[in-house]
Structure 1
Amino acid sequence: MSALREHFLLSADHVHLNHGSFGATPKAVLAAQSAAREAIELHPDAYYRSTSRAAFADAGGGELASGRASRVAARQLAAELFDGEADRLAFVVNATTAANAAVISLPDLKPDECVVEFSPLIYGGCHAAFARQAERCGAELVSIKVSTLAPSVDEFVTPIQEILASPDAPRIRMVLLDHIVSTTAEVLPVADIVPALAAARLASGGDFHIVVDGAHVPGQLPLSLREMTKLGVDVYIGNLHKWMFAPKGAAFVYAASDAGKALMRPPIASHATGARLGFVPEFDDQGTRDDTAWLVLPAALAFIDTVCGGLEAMRASQAAILAAGVDMLTTAWGTSSPTSLDPAAGALAIVPLPPPPAFLSPPSNHHAWALSAHLHRTAGITAFTVVLDGAYYVRISAQIYNTPSDYRTLADAITAVFSAASPEAIGYEDMIPYSDW
């Protein structure tokens, strides 16, 4: 076991290879969050009503700033980290909340209009948000089919151009694009796709909003929000609990363009919303919401600096762990990974599994979920198995607490399942509900 694992509360008798889904918060960051909560509880009224650090300190709040002032400081830090403007960045609890906010902010979505996603790459929660809003308004959800692995730029752009050129097609109001695809771990070429979409929008006289879901990007890849503005992005979304070591409930939405800033409204209306105070106050002032996941971003950054050696060193370490893990798995299974292992590709990869036994054939998501549950229940491994283009893959994460033995344990467990003569021989059950893991 890695000595770095001592910095986390992760179960010692379990192999954790799915950091990308929910993250893992260091003990030091959790301690800072607990301290922040205790400071708030000393004088909750002063925290939520005071507008300055001095006012809250006078009320007995100590070093913790007032609610508004502390959010300003955290937002400024996030903007500096990701090369953005603080007055364009607002905190949300997760990327899915931000995607919901974007699509429900469309004020007058009509039956002859549409919102666009790219299938099968779109994250399930974002798909649900777009589908619900389209259904509510009687509008159309257009799912453009692209290749599951290594889709080309043209696959994203040409269908949009065709819709814009057709007099019978619905008017496009919003397009949602992933930056890193959750299921495949691939980094999409947003630097090529977004300008092409923006050019098509300009050429057609359209006014649709381009939203980029970067849930997996902050911390895993270098990110410049100012560059997203230059590319033509209207709204950019990112999580902080995955690769930035912030607590659960820390994410942001960035209004990259003036049009995006004018569009975005929080999904929950509160006092600032009613007063129409604007983008940042309306997202910030949400009553008695727990802000501490964002307020301890400095503690998360301090952990990255002191324990990981900074963001660049952390990413280099993750890339090395990932490369070794993928090599070990592909060698053990006799397969080859379609995902680039360039360090710039981050700390996620998918690895194809060997040919499945009869009881897992033909490959299906039903079997994939059951396989993940089996690994969790019988081998003490958390890993994300999925079916892509009719074949089984496992998505693995590489975090500083992972070691070669983690990937060896996974390799052996999959080999045992896939070489079993029958499901009974290994205690495999056809389906264990997700809630029973």
Structure 2
Amino acid sequence: MTDQPLTDQPHWTLDPSVVHLNHGSFGAVPRTVQAAQRALREEMEANPDTWFRELPGRVGRARAAVGRFLRVPADRTALVPNASAGVSTVLAGLALPRGGEVLLTDHAYGAVAMGAARAAERAGARVRTLHIPLEATAGEIVAVFDGALSGATALVVVDQITSATARLFPVAEITRLAHAAGARVLVDGAHAPGMLADPVGLAGGADFWVGNLHKWCCAPRGTAALVARGPEAQSLWPLTDSWGFPHPFPRRFDEQGTGDHTAWLAAPRSLEFIDEAYGWDAARDRMTKLAEVAQGLLADALHADLTAVGGSEAPAMRLVPLPAGLATDHPTAQALQRRIAAGTGCETAITSWNGRGFLRLSAHLYNTVTDYAHLAERLPGVLTAASPPR
């Protein structure tokens, strides 16, 4: 069943000479959504005055559609370029107390961790990073947070689905504990929309949530949602001040000068397309099953021990440990990714976490078992050639 796409490949414009196995980084935009965005750009160029005059209202309708998909009200939902921009927006708007603490884990996305460190330094606060073992269960993850929260904790920044390690964190329970300790919670849900049916609901009342729509939702890149609840939503401002300044959140995000927001306006079409062509529940089920099969194929090919990456795995993202000595840091992981692309014809994600290298699998609707079998056949030889001498 997972060896055949549910619909014809002409829905996608990916290069057929390449096996695309890294959906989790940049996504893929369906043909119909590309056409919708092209038509919007042509409309913008035909009459820029009318376009920009009417743009705030159109952005408002697009974010309302995104809010419906995420199961949150439009008046809690703003559109931003990506999840990192959403995190930066929250960090810029919050008043961290001097001497206070921002709590992260060692699975945090690199750009988010750097942004938190910069925000804490500006405020005279500090960042504390918690170690979460790869094999930790949901209960064990919660216990780490429970033991770390204190009266000094002002903000908890936690991944819903981790990027480098493909973990699904129990953010609702973490949010409950943080709120009980008097801390606010920012959930980085970069990978969650589309992979999870109700990602904001699963965040359990977090103060802020951000998620990318260009990954599993297949919207044009440059489209993400920022959801905020409670009075502190009004502390959030676009990173660039523009004519939306006088409006309350989230309307102030709808009007930002001459930015090309055709990606935002086309995003609802991507949500409709996947529902029409596949059905969201069927799509999630297919992607999850395919990721599990792919992980088994690659683990067998590399003789990898999957007990080291058990625990709370994400539905459509899985890890396969690489041989020791490979991808021990970000630069070597990037170099190995390029080497694998050249040697196998496959685009993959190679990640590094705490000095260990991993193949990160992320399955989408255009992938098949045959794609992963192709990688499994060719990858061992490439890794043998890349392994450091003993």
Regarding TM over 0.5, the answer is yes
Please say if residues 84 and 224 of structure 1, whose CA atoms lie closer than 8 Å, have aligned partners that are also in contact: no
**Shift in Å at residue 419 of structure 1?**
3.6
Question: Structure 1: which 5+ runs fail to align?
Answer: 50-65, 165-170, 202-207, 425-437
1:303 corresponding residue in structure 2:
273
- Greater RCO, 1 or 2 (C-alpha within 8 Å, sep 6+): 2
Please say if residues 234 and 259 of structure 1, whose CA atoms lie closer than 8 Å, have aligned partners that are also in contact: no
Please say if residues 209 and 260 of structure 1, whose CA atoms lie closer than 8 Å, have aligned partners that are also in contact: no
**Shift in Å at residue 299 of structure 1?**
1.6
Letter aligned with residue 42 of structure 1: A
Please say if residues 167 and 314 of structure 2, whose CA atoms lie closer than 8 Å, have aligned partners that are also in contact: yes
Q: State, as a whole percentage, how many aligned pairs show the same letter.
A: 34
**Shift in Å at residue 26 of structure 1?**
0.8
Does residue 215 of the first structure (1) align with residue 202 of the second (2)?
no
For residue 39 of structure 1, the aligned residue among 30, 33, 43 is 43
1:78 corresponding residue in structure 2:
66
Does residue 283 of the first structure (1) align with residue 271 of the second (2)?
no
The CA distance in 1 between the partners of 2:116 and 2:144, in whole Å, is: 20
**Shift in Å at residue 90 of structure 1?**
0.5
For residue 335 of structure 1, the aligned residue among 304, 309, 318 is 304
Please say if residues 79 and 224 of structure 2, whose CA atoms lie closer than 8 Å, have aligned partners that are also in contact: yes
2:232 corresponding residue in structure 1:
260
Quickly say closer, same or farther: Cα 1:392–1:226, change in 2 above 3 A.
Answer: closer
For residue 137 of structure 1, the aligned residue among 119, 123, 141 is 123
**Shift in Å at residue 15 of structure 1?**
1.6
**Shift in Å at residue 12 of structure 1?**
1.6
Does residue 7 of the first structure (1) align with residue 11 of the second (2)?
yes
**Shift in Å at residue 366 of structure 1?**
4.3
Which SS does the other structure have where 1:326 is aligned? helix
**Shift in Å at residue 226 of structure 1?**
5.0
- 1:177-216 equivalences under 5 Å are 177-201=158-182, 208-216=183-191
Quickly say closer, same or farther: Cα 1:321–1:251, change in 2 above 3 A.
Answer: same
Quickly say closer, same or farther: Cα 1:188–1:226, change in 2 above 3 A.
Answer: closer
**Shift in Å at residue 421 of structure 1?**
9.3
The CA distance in 2 between the partners of 1:362 and 1:296, in whole Å, is: 37
Letter aligned with residue 349 of structure 1: R
TM-score, length basis structure 2? 0.90
CA deviation profile, 1:334-375 (whole Å, cap 9, x unmatched): 224355699x9421111123x44xxx4694544333221211
The CA distance in 2 between the partners of 1:362 and 1:319, in whole Å, is: 26
Report the number of matched residues. Answer: 381
Please say if residues 306 and 321 of structure 2, whose CA atoms lie closer than 8 Å, have aligned partners that are also in contact: yes
For residue 114 of structure 2, the aligned residue among 110, 118, 128 is 128
Which SS does the other structure have where 2:102 is aligned? strand
2:101 corresponding residue in structure 1:
114
Quickly say closer, same or farther: Cα 1:382–1:320, change in 2 above 3 A.
Answer: same
2:368 corresponding residue in structure 1:
403
For residue 234 of structure 1, the aligned residue among 170, 182, 207 is 207
Quickly say closer, same or farther: Cα 1:186–1:226, change in 2 above 3 A.
Answer: closer
The CA distance in 2 between the partners of 1:192 and 1:226, in whole Å, is: 12
**Shift in Å at residue 332 of structure 1?**
1.9
CA deviation profile, 1:97-137 (whole Å, cap 9, x unmatched): 00000011124x4542332222x111111112112222233
Please say if residues 177 and 211 of structure 1, whose CA atoms lie closer than 8 Å, have aligned partners that are also in contact: yes
The CA distance in 1 between the partners of 2:177 and 2:193, in whole Å, is: 24
CA RMSD of aligned residues (A): 2.5
For residue 25 of structure 2, the aligned residue among 21, 26, 34 is 21
Please say if residues 319 and 358 of structure 2, whose CA atoms lie closer than 8 Å, have aligned partners that are also in contact: yes
**Shift in Å at residue 28 of structure 1?**
0.9
**Shift in Å at residue 314 of structure 1?**
0.7
Deviates more, 1:177-186 or 1:38-47: 38-47
Quickly say closer, same or farther: Cα 1:402–1:341, change in 2 above 3 A.
Answer: farther
2:291 corresponding residue in structure 1:
322
Could you list the runs of 4 or more consecutive aligned residues of structure 1 that deviate by over 6 angstroms after TM superposition? 421-424
CA deviation profile, 1:65-110 (whole Å, cap 9, x unmatched): x312212221221111111111010000100000000011124x45
Quickly say closer, same or farther: Cα 1:227–1:385, change in 2 above 3 A.
Answer: closer
Rg: which structure is higher? 1
Letter aligned with residue 254 of structure 2: D
The CA distance in 2 between the partners of 1:421 and 1:213, in whole Å, is: 34
For residue 348 of structure 1, the aligned residue among 301, 304, 317 is 317
Which SS does the other structure have where 2:250 is aligned? helix
Letter aligned with residue 335 of structure 1: A
TM-score, length basis structure 1? 0.81
The CA distance in 1 between the partners of 2:13 and 2:241, in whole Å, is: 36
Letter aligned with residue 122 of structure 1: A
Please say if residues 193 and 199 of structure 2, whose CA atoms lie closer than 8 Å, have aligned partners that are also in contact: no
